[in-house]
Amino acid sequence: MPSAKIQIYVITVKEFADRHRHVEKMAEKFGFSFEYIWRYDACDLTSSDLARVCCSLSRKSASNVLKHMYAQDLFLETEKDVALILEDDVILFDSFFQDLETVLSLVQKLKPGWLIFLGGADNKLDARFFEPAELDLVSSPLTTAEAYLVDRRGCEQRARWLGTKTISCQADHQLKLMDQELGLKHYCVSTPMASQGSITGLFDTSLDASRSKHSRSYLKLRYFYNRFRRQSLPRFIKNFIRVFN
Q: Is 80 helix (H, G, I), strand (E, B) or coil?
A: coil
Residue 21 contacts residue 14 (beta carbons within 8 Å): no
pLDDT, position 73:
97
Cross-sheet strand order for the sheet of 7-11 = 35-37, 7-11, 82-87, 147-151, 114-117, 185-189, 137-139
- The pLDDT profile of the chain, 245 residues, written as one tens digit per residue, is 555 689 999 999 999 999 999 999 999 999 999 999 999 999 999 999 999 999 889 999 999 999 999 999 999 999 999 999 999 999 999 999 999 999 999 999 999 999 999 999 999 999 999 998 899 999 999 999 999 999 999 999 999 999 999 999 999 999 999 999 999 999 999 999 999 988 887 787 666 556 556 677 788 888 888 888 988 888 888 887 877 77
Residue 173 contacts residue 208 (beta carbons within 8 Å): no
pLDDT, position 70:
98
Counted residue by residue, the chain has a size of 245
pTM above 0.75, yes or no: yes
pLDDT, position 221:
85
Boundaries of every domain in the chain? 2-244
Q: Which fold has domain 2-244?
A: Spore Coat Polysaccharide Biosynthesis Protein SpsA; Chain A (3.90.550)
pLDDT, position 153:
97
Amino acid at 179: D
Nearest to 23 by CA among 35, 40, 39: 35
Residue by residue, DSSP assigns 94-116 as: TTHHHHHHHHHHHGGGSPSSEEE
Angle, helices 171-182/152-162, rounded to nearest 10 degrees: 100
